[in-house]
């Protein structure tokens, strides 16, 4: 796949690869996303706004330049801002690929960090020389002010120019909670939501602290995603219950929504409202209980985002998807193209061969091409 190098959330030529529940593949303009939905479905998106979570400063004991990338906290409460887990890099910036970044000086518990107006202490190392728990000084208001004024969006080398914070916020961004953008939500636009609602498709949100996607260290990357707090409003939990009662599908916009919903589901199969901490990995062995389909970006095999797709479709279908993404020049990373994947029945069923539809609607099971209507967004 080709790296998306332009920071445009909704380019007019964006593509959408759709995989239906039979494993058949169709290529569509991304603007056709609402046409994959049915009346009674519920679409759920992550409304977290992205923090400027990259902080540059100095390691006080050695005087060396460092970059700190905030990576997590235990709660979404605004006051719970004194402690963050963080990944620390040495001198340099996003222009150097993450895997080639310099290591920081030796980090020890008790070391002080100066990050603009912020002062922090390394409370402990989290079983890795570059993953630490930071304790910030000052009131919650002072800490938030320092992060907002001094921080920058976390960025990677595939983008040549610096990101502005508004580049990372989806159209529905609300609470300041994510460390990297919940970029699957870039597919949304207010006119898209209007089309969906007029067609009897329901829309709801939750807040999930989307974490970092890469640390540049294979050992740390194998731990991703880290534990991530979330909040599900009562209105969202109720709408999910109602959709399932009437036979509607639950469509997750992004892997973070899948993690939150599947973590929040109770023994009786009901999603409860409230706060939680998603600490599970979703992959081949997972049994999805709530989510019927996912909208995601395109991701490389081995990444946590890609591995989550194994809970939806077979390995053979994923291999077919990879070939189609490569063959049709799909763009990857946060400003890239999108995929829509319905959950297959993987419990002992034989693998269904992949069929590639090259025109809108030509490969979707039970759907005629002339039934597809341009959403015009």
Q: Please state the pTM of the whole predicted model.
A: 0.90
Query: What pLDDT sits at residue 9?
Result: 84
**Residues 101-157 pLDDT 10s:** 999 999 999 999 999 999 999 999 999 999 999 999 999 999 999 999 999 999 999
Per CATH, is 53-150 categorized as 1.20.58.100? Answer: no
CATH number for the domain formed by residue range(s) 2-49+163-371: 3.40.1780.10
Domain ranges of the chain: 2-49+163-371, 53-150
Q: What is the mean pLDDT of the chain?
A: 90
Strands 228-232 and 274-278: antiparallel
pLDDT in tens, 243-266: 999 999 999 999 999 999 999 997
Q: pLDDT (tens digit, 9 = 90+) per residue, 33-61?
A: 999 999 999 999 999 999 999 999 999 99
């Amino acid at each position: 796949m080709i790296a998306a190098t332009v920071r445009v959330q909704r380019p007019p030529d964006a593509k959408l690869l759709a995989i239906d529940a039979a494993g058949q593949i169709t290529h569509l303009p991304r603007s056709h996303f609402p046409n994959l939905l049915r009346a009674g479905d519920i679409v759920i998106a992550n409304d977290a706004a992205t923090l400027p979570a990259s902080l540059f400063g100095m390691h006080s004991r050695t005087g060396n330049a460092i970059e700190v990338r905030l990576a997590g906290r235990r709660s979404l409460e605004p006051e719970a801002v004194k402690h963050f887990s963080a990944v620390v890099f040495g001198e340099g910036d996003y222009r150097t690929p993450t895997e080639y970044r310099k290591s920081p000086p030796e980090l020890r518990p008790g070391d002080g960090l100066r990050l603009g107006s912020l002062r922090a202490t390394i409370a402990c190392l989290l079983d890795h020389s570059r993953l630490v728990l930071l304790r910030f000084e000052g009131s919650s208001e002072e800490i938030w002010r320092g992060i907002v004024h001094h921080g920058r969006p976390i960025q990677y080398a595939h983008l040549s120019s610096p990101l502005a914070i508004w580049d990372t916020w989806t159209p529905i961004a609300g609470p300041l909670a994510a460390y990297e953008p919940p970029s699957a939500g870039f597919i949304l636009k207010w006119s898209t939501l209007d089309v969906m609602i007029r067609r009897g498709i329901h829309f709801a949100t939750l807040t999930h602290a989307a974490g970092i996607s890469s640390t540049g260290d294979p050992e740390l990357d194998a731990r991703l995603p880290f534990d991530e707090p979330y909040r599900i409003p009562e209105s969202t939990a109720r709408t999910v219950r109602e959709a399932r009662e009437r036979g509607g599908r639950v469509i997750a916009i992004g892997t973070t929504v899948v993690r939150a919903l599947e973590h929040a589901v109770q023994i009786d199969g009901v999603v409860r409202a409230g706060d939680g901490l998603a600490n599970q990995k979703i992959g081949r062995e997972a049994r999805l209980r709530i989510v019927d389909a996912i909208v995601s970006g395109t991701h490389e095999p081995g990444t946590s985002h890609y591995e989550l797709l194994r809970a939806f479709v077979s390995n053979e279908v994923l291999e077919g998807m990879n070939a189609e993404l490569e063959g049709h020049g799909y763009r990857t990373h946060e400003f890239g193209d999108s995929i829509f994947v319905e959950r297959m029945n993987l419990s002992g069923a034989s693998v269904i061969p992949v069929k590639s539809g090259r025109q809108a609607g030509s490969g979707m099971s039970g759907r005629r091409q002339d039934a597809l209507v341009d959403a015009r967004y």
